[in-house]
Amino acid sequence: MSRNPLSAPRTILVVDDDPAVRNLALKCLKSQGFDVQEAADGVQACESAEANPPDLVLLDLLLPRLDGYGVLLRLRSHESTRPIPVLLVSGEPEAEQADIGRTLGAEGFLPKPFTCSGLVSAVESALVRKAQP
């Protein structure tokens, strides 16, 4: 899927405690014209999303200070962050993680390791679904 060059840049908050994974996601998303914010732990992710709500959160599940499920619950509990689509990312078994994530309000699940094309496709699909009435 290619981005419409006339559309405003979308902001993605990338949350992962692994700098290599975070840097890969930043590189992939920036190369496609996304604005990218980053956070290395769950508390930092919540503070960033609440202060400057992104268009989408790419959220690792295994995080220090507050795990991904805790972040998701906190985002869903605040009016300003409730509508933000969240894509969970994990190297753990997909079926169980995805089911729990959907129950808590996640938009989708992206297994690690991911490719740039898979990441960008998942993000763009989630943004399209968010834009539909």
Residue-wise pLDDT for 23-38, tens only, equals 999 999 999 999 999 9
Residue-wise pLDDT for 39-92, tens only, equals 999 999 999 999 999 999 999 999 999 999 999 999 999 999 999 999 999 887
CATH number listed for the domain at residues 11-131: 3.40.50.2300
Which is it for the CA torsion 34, 39, 42, 43, positive or negative? negative
Whole-prediction pTM: 0.91
Neighbouring CB atoms inside 10 A of 80's CB total 11
The stretches of the chain forming alpha helices (DSSP H) are 19-31, 42-51, 68-77, 94-104, 116-131
Would you kindly state where each structural domain of the chain is located, as residue ranges? 11-131
Please list, in sequence order, all residues whose beta carbon lies within 8 angstroms of the beta carbon of residue 105, skipping any fewer than 6 positions away.
Answer: 72, 76, 86
Please list, in sequence order, all residues whose beta carbon lies within 8 angstroms of the beta carbon of residue 47, skipping any fewer than 6 positions away.
Answer: 39
